[in-house]
Amino acid sequence: MNTVQLTQVSAAVQVIVNLDKARNALVSQVGKIGEVIQAYADGLSQAFDLVDNAGNVTTKWYDLQGVFNKPVKAERAVFVTAMEAKGYDKPTIDVYWARVKKAAGHMTAGNKVSASLDTDAKTLSELKTILNRIFNDDTDCKAQQVKGILIDAFVQMGGDAMKLGTNNKG
């Protein structure tokens, strides 16, 4: 009976030791993936960004077109092959590539600031949309009660109240 108990205790200790090793390995790597991604992004930038004679970047590697983009495509192919060799699938590979591009400064369409619409212009446009919705709704809703306040804001921002709604109830 002592042999069975010792074996069970030994197995339990081994599990705890393995768990400690796994936890410590994880904790030691937390936060480092960002550093690794940044290092790779910096390497891609150094290797492939186009620069002028003064050393200023004229085109980032992720914006290159045509013949200038061929080395980037080749590097991506090597990246994909290496990731696949580690067992990663296409969606995961694409996410990591996007993270590398972001670390290099790439702005996706979702987080680019539109140069044509600043905050005031966008707010004015949205107020017009809101007010037109209220003007075209004949139901008795809370929005009808605050319509005057919204019109005042719209006019103060430079909008023309006479161009609101189709039945312009004011």
Phi and psi for 57 in degrees, rounded to 5?
-70, 125
101 lies in the same domain as 127: no
81 lies in the same domain as 45: yes
In this structure, is residue 8 part of a structural domain? no
**How far is the CA of 148 from the CAs of 29, 69, 78, 109, 131, in angstroms?**
57, 55, 61, 35, 10
Q: What is the pLDDT of residues 88-144, one digit of tens each?
A: 999 999 999 999 999 999 987 765 555 555 788 888 888 888 888 888 887 888 888
Domain extent, residue 151, equals 119-163
pLDDT the model gives residue 166? 59
pLDDT average, residue stretch 11-25:
71
Phi and psi for 76 in degrees, rounded to 5?
-60, -40
Tokens representing 48 are: 């492939």
* Res. 13: pLDDT tops 80: no
159 lies in the same domain as 135: yes
107 lies in the same domain as 123: no
Asked if residue 132 lies in contact with residue 164, where contact means CB atoms within 8 angstroms, the answer is yes
In this structure, is residue 86 part of a structural domain? yes
Phi and psi for 59 in degrees, rounded to 5?
-145, 125
Global pTM value: 0.53
Alpha helices in 49-141, H assignment, sequence order? 70-85, 90-103, 119-135
Please report which confidence band the pLDDT of residue 4 belongs to, taking 50, 70 and 90 as the band edges: low
In this structure, is residue 151 part of a structural domain? yes
Q: What is the pLDDT of residues 53-91, one digit of tens each?
A: 998 999 999 999 999 999 999 999 999 999 999 999 999
pLDDT the model gives residue 141? 85
